[in-house]
Structure 1
Amino acid sequence: MNQDTKHADRTGHGPALEVTDLIGGYSPRRPVLHNLTFDVRPGEIVGLIGLNGAGKSTAIKHILGLMQPHAGEVKVNGAKLDADPQRYRGSIAYVPESPVLFDELTVDEHLRLTGMAYGVEASAFDGRLEQLLDEFHMRPKRGAFAEHLSKGMKQKVMIMNALMADPPLFIIDEPFLGLDPLGIRSLLDRLVEVKKAGAAVLMSSHILSTVETYCDRYIVLHHGRIAAQGKLRDVLQAAGMTSGTLDEAFFRLVSETAGGGGMSDGR
């Protein structure tokens, strides 16, 4: 996808991600996700939060096309995976919880591979590469093989790859694990920048104070169902509160049933 096409996609009026009545999981007999409906729009960061086992990672796998819905649908950049797989997959950059790199490629080579895969024009690639190396303090490691990097550095490379791709939609799953404070600040600053540039971001994280500060809206997932979604006032209202923090509202929404039956077996 060339840069002009991506720019046109970002300035459209539809959601970058649209999930409608999604039912899914590993077995149709025991779904993990129950009728999820939400969207992520260009120019916003949406926080996906929930306890371990709430179904967050299962939902992300369905969005990425790694799992097929039992019912409902997912659209990315206006496309469904089965109808237009190239547009669908080319519109997403994904940062997983655990970094996955090629041991025998260097940091520089990973970024060049990503640039080629996403069709980043040569005129834009070099400047973007130099900027990312500086922002994430990885210039001394640009020639290092992935197998010689620490987990935190590997996570930085995953994040840099996503930013190099510069897609309409970023899916970020627990991005702060293993990052040092400078890496966390660099990531958050760049997420604000890509949001201002018109990209959409779905970010899953357990650090609720950061989610509350940086996200425009929130989706609270519990037992594979949406317990609340919207702005902070909407989540507070769903929790029966008139004021408070996201952390306080989240605790009230999940605490009564956290140890009860019916727990989904997704992540």
Structure 2
Amino acid sequence: MRAFSELREASAHARFLTSRRTSAQSRRTVGRSDITQQNETLSGKRAVVTGGASGIGKAIVEAYVAAGVTVLAVDLPTASWSSSDGLERNVARLAIDVTSDDAPTAIAAAAVAQLGGIDVLVNNAGVMRPGGADSTSDADWQVMLAVNVTAPFRITREAVPYLKVSGNGRIINTGSIMSELAGPASIAYVTTKHAIAGMTKAMAIDLGPLGIRANFLQPGAVETPLSAPHMADPQYLGFWERKIPLGRVAQPEEIAPVAVFLASDAAAYISGEGLRIDGGATYNI
């Protein structure tokens, strides 16, 4: 009887292990299927990415092209554009200051002329100038509002008719974990990233009936040309490495896949949301 009981337990354990292996294999298969589906649903789409010459914007451009998207990358006339093998034929470039009066119309016109329309708009261009509530100058305040908030609004407003015609338009704005938190000596940056959160949610409400989804990225500390001066400070870098449970800051290539996901049909019912990519930093108080 005891031998029978032990045999039965061994059999049950074997079934449990088989079930675990089958489940794990299933999850891996579903994961691969989801990635394939994202690429399939994006193939042939047309995207505009501001701040596309470097950092997170460049990584998004490269990820979109890999998924079969044709991209208009927008950045400053002074930006350094780097060539990437296999990307050139799928990437058009527009050198313009996103805060200029004619930027929205110029971007939309270039997208129509070179891509044939707009399916995805990524408002990623941004600036970050340190300063506290008692020290930030009017000039720094106005520049950060102009680049980080007003430009995305104006570019989106101009792009809406094209996103509507697309039939499945997507807007992705680059926020930050500072879209819901705050930090010292960064009042203008924090203000603008909170504004991105509110603006994106309002866009989702206003534009949803037109078939347009709007979401925003919330990266944590990322090593980019924008953050390079701060990352060069051992105290700053050390703070984030201790704050982030994964023990390191992110690379732009770790943010881009989320922009691919939000642009794909896999995120067809997600709108008005901010997705954190911060290595767990937000919850590590």
TM-score, scaled relative to structure 2? 0.29
- Give the number of the structure whose residues are more often helix, by fraction: 2
Q: Which protein has the larger Cα radius of gyration, Structure 1 or Structure 2?
A: 2
- Give the number of the structure whose residues are more often strand, by fraction: 1
TM-score, scaled relative to structure 1? 0.30
Q: Which has the higher contact order (CA 8 A, sep 6+)?
A: 1
